[in-house]
Amino acid sequence: MADQEPLGREYLLHEEIGRGAVAVVRRATRRTGGAEALAAKLLRPEYASDRRVRELFLREEAALRDLDHPNIVGLRDLVVEGETLALIMDLVDGPNLRRYLEFRGGRLPAAEVAAIAGQTAAALAAAHAQGVVHLDLKPENILVVPGAGPPRVRITDFGVAVLLHDAERLAPGGTPGYTAPEIFIGGPPTAAADVWSLGVLIAELSTGSPSFDPGLLPPHLAAVTRDCLASDPRQRPPARRVAAYLRNAGGNAGAEPTPIASAFSPPAPVGLNDTRLRPGVTPPAPPPPPEPVAPPSRWRRGPLITLGAVALIAATLAGINAAASAGERGSQAIQQISVPPKITPQTTDATVEPTAGITTTPVAERLRVTLAGKVEDGAGTLAISIRDGRAIAYICDGQRVESWLQGTAKAGKLALKGKDGSTITGTFDADSAEGDVTVAGDTHAFEVGKVKKGSGLYRTAARVRGAEVEGSWIVLDDGSQVGVLSRDGVPGPAPSLDVTGGTVTIDGSTLGTTSIDVDSGEGF
């Protein structure tokens, strides 16, 4: 990128400091100078140019500005100019929690988990009290503030996922593995959905994986994690209660477990008076008896609010089946995404109601793997990334022909489609996939194998020297790579990608890239 570019009447854009599937983040300063550290989150052109997206962000700007909390990255301004939509925010000059976790070896001590999760819960509680939900809480959206002493974190991107969801520019839900299961069946974004994500976060920080072994959880964090992950959203505790519990738990990380069941097992049903949320943000109560539908929150003003009246919200996403036990209401089958079994507190005298067990999930539907290789007939190179029943694929010939596809990978069968009419059908397992791919009107057979982490799919999009640039790459295990780069929609061979740094140089400008990461869910 150039050293600096103007943004609106007040700001200058500097180097890129991050990017994701929805936006690029660049360091920003005011034209008038000053020491204020700012970051500009620029939505990608396909979102920024959408009239409904722009209207929603303009309408809710005041609500986002109201989120004033030490653990929330504050919104300072909103710039809408031409086809540019940028959120001006505080700059946090530190790593996101994903990178911090990797630096610390993949998991954290119990006291540190309680401190980070407690701050996160406090931030959620403050936002929920304003009627604002996040919907995409994950380590990538939590920033670690540099400094000595216990870690301090700040949550970023409040409102972004919800508004894009409302504008029908994002599929239901945020990131697989972190998003509450009811969201995937059309349920409205609620405070309880954020509490689910908080439960996943506590589990991942404690055990090193969002799909965790319950036996690895510290005893004093087991019950609160279980209750955050309750399949019925109404049974999850409000964020403010979780924050209060974790504040106390942080100082007693090495102590014997106290009667945590009294605080979190089982949780009391959550209502409007309990959460202090605006109408419509609390999960709706199921019939019978029929209850009047609560008026929509500031985030839900359209017909989607009618989806909230779901009887005993059954969490559904590809492949993880559960059956309600005798202690649960009803006997209907439910499905969940990255759902660990509910956890019984380790040591307590309190009486705990029985909880639902979860059946063994088919291996293929919990699979996280990238498969890549050459397509027959010299038609190009194909890579398929599979994560918990979802699949993303890219095929290209390194010259002009390319296609991105997405779909399902369930029960050993692949079914993917692209916007240009391309399709993939076939079979797969943990080590390979085979079948047929149709691209540019021609059908070719393929057989691809598992590749190691670092290989796989990468993509970037930016404006370089006045041109809209989009690039995609496949990197194979032997280090070879192939890709296509489009300038203003005209495809051609892609320049070489620096896999180690995750960057590519185009016309003298160095751009960051996004990987399709089956472990973290990035790119999905």
Q: How far apart are CA 31 and CA 515, in angstroms?
A: 34
Please state, as a whole number, how many other Cβ atoms lie within 10 Å of the Cβ of residue 110: 20
DSSP 268-305: PPP-HHHH-PPTTSSPPPPSSSP-PPPPP-TT--SGGG
Q: Which residues are catalytic?
A: 136
Of residues 380, 379, 430, the one with CA closest to residue 409: 430
* Whether 442 contacts 460, CB under 8 Å: no
How far apart are the C-alpha atoms of 261 and 351, rounded to whole Å? Answer: 8
- Cα–Cα distance for residue pair 503/24, rounded to 1 Å: 14
Token pair for residue 472? Answer: 């995609």
CA gyration radius, the chain: 23
Q: Give the DSSP letter string of 155-224.
A: E--TTHHHHHHHTT-S-SSSSTTTS-GGGGGTPPP-HHHHHHHHHHHHHHHHHS-SS--GGGS-HHHHHH
**Strand (E) or helix (H) holding 102:** helix 97-103
Q: Is the dihedral of CA 239, 244, 245, 248 positive or negative?
A: positive
Describe the strand order of the beta sheet including 456-464 as a list of residue ranges: 490-493, 481-487, 467-475, 456-464, 514-515
- Please name the amino acid found at residue 342: K
Residue type, 491: P
For residue 360, count other CB atoms closer than 10 A to its CB: 8
C-alpha–C-alpha distance, residues 264 and 287, integer Å? 25
Rounded to whole angstroms, the Cα distance separating 9 from 2 reads 18
